[in-house]
Structure 1
């Protein structure tokens, strides 16, 4: 399946179309089914729209016939059969519409969810750092609401519009004065409703934003419940949630006030139309201007329109509530990507791992993290990076992985600017083990083999190298054990060993270690030092560590301070300089660098 590219649309337009049009653009493959459904609902509505006219013919024919033996009532029976036939035919069209729209709706929902998820996956780290994860998940889950709204428009709003058109045509065919009366009513009804709907749409969007904030606050509270309890901050957090809930309450009151106002105005307008049309048509009949069949037809038309309007009024609340949530959600989800592959970017093999930062400048939230940074890490060199918190250590690694884009300079690997390489190709040539390893709520086997079509033997071998095999074998389901959300069932050290095993399988030429042993005790760390030696062989390695003793075997150690390289050399050389590194080494307690 070829998916609609939202990012390509952004390159041509400033903003996305409304959610319903977006759903249609994403689902081009379903246009034939949608077209069939649209034609069927149109035909069914037109057929039902002419039923009051057929009833008029029955009444007019019946009123001129004297019942009894010998009376010719064939015309009445003919119209009666026609009336039933039209109803049955409309049912056939509705049945066909149901079959076509059911298949189209399911496929459209799948296309929308897949396209939105694909777009989300390509957002940068900066994007995800600004949004609650639970909030985003909720918005993604609601993305296919646009499909339901489209079919609601087609199945409910479009038929009402058609009924009005058919009703006015029938009215003009019977009596121009009543037709003009109905038309005048429309010129009042439509502008009034459009004005009210515009305000309701704005309030629905605002309500959706506050509702989204409320959900985010609740998810944040639950995610950090242990921290809340440790600091006895339950009351403070509940007050924070209560404040957002009050905003939601006030918006709710205003929104539903407008909806109640709209329902009242519509009921009055519809009641006035029904009464005026009925009494005026009776007046015309009394003066022999129209037939009694015309009276029945006008009454049937107005009653039918009023019934449809009541149905819309009952659904309008849900429609605009969903529309507001969807519009607000898609505005968040479908922002343009701030890190994209440039046109012509190549899937380039990076086999050596020679890394250069050339006059690199990078700002985060308007503040320089690096300014004109120059750094060269030759192929297969093992480099340790140290520095106090905020020095830019982890940011340096994120720039190398192109999780953020630099504002000035270039980052070059094997003499190729990383912006000339596709992001996937770049990251395929790097293995990472971080301070807080990412874990899926899947089995240990799936977590180790993630991203690779590998063998069970390779997974077990990697686990043994990472000294993870021992504890895995003690688990009830061994490698089939599901680790829970973010690996909650595992200790920090166990998660890091699984991450190390994952890096062993990937065997990329560039290895990035960001506090890779921070969650290991001294005994466990000693066990996997040999594993690291094996893992680092013939690779370019960049390692961040607060435990400076883990960097003794590095070819080179770089000291960062406020985004600048202030010292560069191996362990012995830096100790002899008696500078910042020597001071750090001296101040360590239990092997760790004090922040």
Structure 2
């Protein structure tokens, strides 16, 4: 039975065709969207809550009937009462109330609470995981992750509070007022006045509490982001003896949270105190009205007992509603903050009907491309470059010349301002992004590994590869020299050992070799090497260059390197400055021309810094002989 209810909502329901990648832009649209995802359970929950509220109204009424029945029997001197009232009271307590409560618990806990939080987190994750690169560059990763988690919790809390507690309070109050109006309008007068006063109190409390809750949610996410930022860069913190400064940085966020929470708690204390006073007035007024009506023969002792029982229940429910409102405002504040953080539209999207990229030769045509990050100076300025299928080119230039930006544009991490990039004649903005990036293997200077096993990291670009193929790639990257010696804190060794967050357990050179093995295994038709061997020592680099030479055969290659000796043997070198191409040709041609490249080559004394003149001359002769 539990399994049947648990299976009514699929928390991993496919999103294709359900909603756009851009999430709703207001908290109410987010709520409406996810409430729509829950389907019938919410309606069933509302009906069961209505039934439960009616039962709770009938209980004090039946108590009043029992008292009146006993009083009448005693007055007549007959010790027999109407047992139908007793049976009704027992059925309400032992049958109707437990059954409806059980059904409502099944819907609330098994159908909604079990699934809705996961559904929200999954859908939010799907958007975040596909967000533009700028989305992650402009925020704490830890803060983004916190938002994904908090959003699921907030919406689950709101559904529980509205569909269960607050709806029950409203329905119960409506039922009580209706009954009292039927019995005598004066019975309902104190409750109506109390309801108006309570509504005014809550109305005055809502705006300030919402602002305070939003501030609490924001400070919590900032605190989480600062923690992750410091923990992720713990080595930098140690090297610069900055633990005290980091403590102060984190404490500042905590202090802001304490201050924000203090504001929220002050509001809650004030509301609770005023509510206690109002509840006392309600109970006193209800008792006085009851006694007054009884003295005029307009009410029975059972009526007075019913009213007092209902009033006591209302006092408890009002406290519950107050606490629920506090939770509601906190959840709404979280949603407000989530909307501001996560509802930015996704800019890099596939066009409707985008087809997979079909790579035949791997030719690349960059036609009058311009792009800027928002500053006054463009990062790429009217650049044109044609790369023949199978050609190997090296991009050369000082830092900030636009080399890595050009590679990012080729991968369509950003959309162009002007111009077009084609691969085998296909405009990359019209093809599916996944197929574009599947066709390009990339090794970057800043190698980042996943906190998974060595095997998983190497196979990441081609999960269906066999272990034999994975081992061959590791050998070609000379990663098999250190992998067998690896072990982690759980005793896993070799290719099963975990590498730590971002590969922190490995040296820079080891991470680089794993990244090279990953691209070797992927075996994409287009290869991008962005300082691919920068973290390697000369001996390992020389060994890997042979493997890279095999990898580059038959592929279109774009290589970036500040150490010019690593790209001097490319078919063509392209020299960039200020987002433009200023020189182009082979290594020998560019050195003979005496321009920008020749100056860079000369300053590197043969491609290596810090060599004396004799060693530099020997290095030049060696490279010249290889060329």
Alpha-carbon distance between aligned partners in 2 of 1:4 and 1:309, rounded to the nearest angstrom: 43
Judging changes above 3 Å, is the alpha-carbon distance between structure 1 residues 178 and 323 closer, same or farther for their aligned structure 2 residues? same
Is 1:567 the equivalent of 2:583?
Answer: yes
Per-residue CA deviation, residues 445-467 of structure 1 (Å, 9 max, x unaligned), is 11111142111111111111111
What is the CA distance between 1:72 and its match in structure 2? 3.1
Is 1:370 the equivalent of 2:380?
Answer: yes
**2:356 is matched with which residue?**
347
**2:390 is matched with which residue?**
380
1:587 to 578, 603, 616: 603
2:85 to 72, 79, 82: 79
Question: Do the aligned partners of 1:360 and 1:374 also contact (CA within 8 Å) in 2?
Answer: yes
Question: Do the aligned partners of 1:38 and 1:154 also contact (CA within 8 Å) in 2?
Answer: yes
Question: Do the aligned partners of 2:22 and 2:127 also contact (CA within 8 Å) in 1?
Answer: no
Alpha-carbon distance between aligned partners in 2 of 1:9 and 1:259, rounded to the nearest angstrom: 38
**1:151 is matched with which residue?**
160
Judging changes above 3 Å, is the alpha-carbon distance between structure 1 residues 232 and 480 closer, same or farther for their aligned structure 2 residues? closer
Question: Do the aligned partners of 2:444 and 2:530 also contact (CA within 8 Å) in 1?
Answer: yes
**1:192 is matched with which residue?**
201
2:121 to 113, 123, 131: 113
What is the CA distance between 1:3 and its match in structure 2? 2.2
Alpha-carbon distance between aligned partners in 2 of 1:223 and 1:470, rounded to the nearest angstrom: 28
2:259 to 207, 225, 250: 250
Q: What does residue range 161-180 of structure 1 map to in structure 2 within 5 Å?
A: 161-180=170-189
**1:457 is matched with which residue?**
468
What is the CA distance between 1:172 and its match in structure 2? 0.8
Question: Do the aligned partners of 1:44 and 1:91 also contact (CA within 8 Å) in 2?
Answer: no
TM-score (norm 1): 0.94
Question: Do the aligned partners of 1:209 and 1:328 also contact (CA within 8 Å) in 2?
Answer: yes
1:444 to 449, 454, 458: 454
1:123 to 128, 131, 135: 131
**2:615 is matched with which residue?**
none
Judging changes above 3 Å, is the alpha-carbon distance between structure 1 residues 313 and 246 closer, same or farther for their aligned structure 2 residues? same
Task: Give secondary structure in 2 for the equivalent of 1:483.
Answer: coil
Alpha-carbon distance between aligned partners in 1 of 2:189 and 2:29, rounded to the nearest angstrom: 35
**1:95 is matched with which residue?**
102
Question: Do the aligned partners of 1:515 and 1:543 also contact (CA within 8 Å) in 2?
Answer: yes
Alpha-carbon distance between aligned partners in 2 of 1:17 and 1:472, rounded to the nearest angstrom: 52
Deviates more, 1:442-451 or 1:177-186: 177-186
Per-residue CA deviation, residues 380-439 of structure 1 (Å, 9 max, x unaligned), is 111111211111111111111111112222111111111100111111111011112221
Alpha-carbon distance between aligned partners in 1 of 2:416 and 2:472, rounded to the nearest angstrom: 38
Structure 1 gaps, min length 5: none
Question: Do the aligned partners of 1:139 and 1:330 also contact (CA within 8 Å) in 2?
Answer: no
Alpha-carbon distance between aligned partners in 2 of 1:479 and 1:236, rounded to the nearest angstrom: 38
**2:20 is matched with which residue?**
8
**1:501 is matched with which residue?**
517
Question: Do the aligned partners of 2:391 and 2:555 also contact (CA within 8 Å) in 1?
Answer: yes
Alpha-carbon distance between aligned partners in 1 of 2:223 and 2:115, rounded to the nearest angstrom: 32
Is 1:289 the equivalent of 2:298?
Answer: yes
Deviates more, 1:216-225 or 1:354-363: 216-225
Judging changes above 3 Å, is the alpha-carbon distance between structure 1 residues 408 and 167 closer, same or farther for their aligned structure 2 residues? same
Is 1:17 the equivalent of 2:17?
Answer: no
Is 1:524 the equivalent of 2:540?
Answer: yes
Alpha-carbon distance between aligned partners in 2 of 1:70 and 1:417, rounded to the nearest angstrom: 97
Alpha-carbon distance between aligned partners in 2 of 1:360 and 1:178, rounded to the nearest angstrom: 79
Question: Do the aligned partners of 2:63 and 2:89 also contact (CA within 8 Å) in 1?
Answer: yes
Question: Do the aligned partners of 2:26 and 2:336 also contact (CA within 8 Å) in 1?
Answer: no
Deviates more, 1:64-73 or 1:518-527: 64-73
Structure 2 gaps, min length 5: 1-12, 488-492, 611-627
Alpha-carbon distance between aligned partners in 2 of 1:242 and 1:450, rounded to the nearest angstrom: 38
Question: Do the aligned partners of 1:584 and 1:593 also contact (CA within 8 Å) in 2?
Answer: no
Judging changes above 3 Å, is the alpha-carbon distance between structure 1 residues 255 and 100 closer, same or farther for their aligned structure 2 residues? closer
Question: Do the aligned partners of 2:26 and 2:339 also contact (CA within 8 Å) in 1?
Answer: no
Question: Do the aligned partners of 1:346 and 1:422 also contact (CA within 8 Å) in 2?
Answer: yes
Question: Do the aligned partners of 1:4 and 1:115 also contact (CA within 8 Å) in 2?
Answer: no
Cα RMSD (Å): 2.2
Question: Do the aligned partners of 1:439 and 1:447 also contact (CA within 8 Å) in 2?
Answer: yes
Alpha-carbon distance between aligned partners in 2 of 1:16 and 1:93, rounded to the nearest angstrom: 32
Alpha-carbon distance between aligned partners in 2 of 1:509 and 1:190, rounded to the nearest angstrom: 68
Deviates more, 1:234-243 or 1:367-376: 234-243
**2:616 is matched with which residue?**
none
Question: Do the aligned partners of 1:65 and 1:71 also contact (CA within 8 Å) in 2?
Answer: yes
**1:50 is matched with which residue?**
58
What is the CA distance between 1:67 and its match in structure 2? 7.2
**1:408 is matched with which residue?**
418
Task: Give secondary structure in 2 for the equivalent of 1:65.
Answer: helix
Deviates more, 1:259-268 or 1:16-25: 16-25
Alpha-carbon distance between aligned partners in 2 of 1:327 and 1:274, rounded to the nearest angstrom: 38
For these two proteins, the number of residue pairs brought into alignment is 588
1:220 to 224, 229, 236: 229
**1:431 is matched with which residue?**
441
Judging changes above 3 Å, is the alpha-carbon distance between structure 1 residues 15 and 37 closer, same or farther for their aligned structure 2 residues? closer
2:571 to 555, 565, 583: 555
Task: Give secondary structure in 2 for the equivalent of 1:559.
Answer: strand
What is the CA distance between 1:201 and its match in structure 2? 1.2
1:479 to 471, 495, 501: 495
What is the CA distance between 1:593 and its match in structure 2? 7.0
Alpha-carbon distance between aligned partners in 2 of 1:16 and 1:427, rounded to the nearest angstrom: 34
Is 1:311 the equivalent of 2:320?
Answer: yes
Question: Do the aligned partners of 1:357 and 1:373 also contact (CA within 8 Å) in 2?
Answer: yes
Deviates more, 1:245-254 or 1:525-534: 245-254
Alpha-carbon distance between aligned partners in 2 of 1:464 and 1:394, rounded to the nearest angstrom: 28
Is 1:135 the equivalent of 2:143?
Answer: yes
1:546 to 553, 562, 568: 562
Alpha-carbon distance between aligned partners in 2 of 1:460 and 1:228, rounded to the nearest angstrom: 36
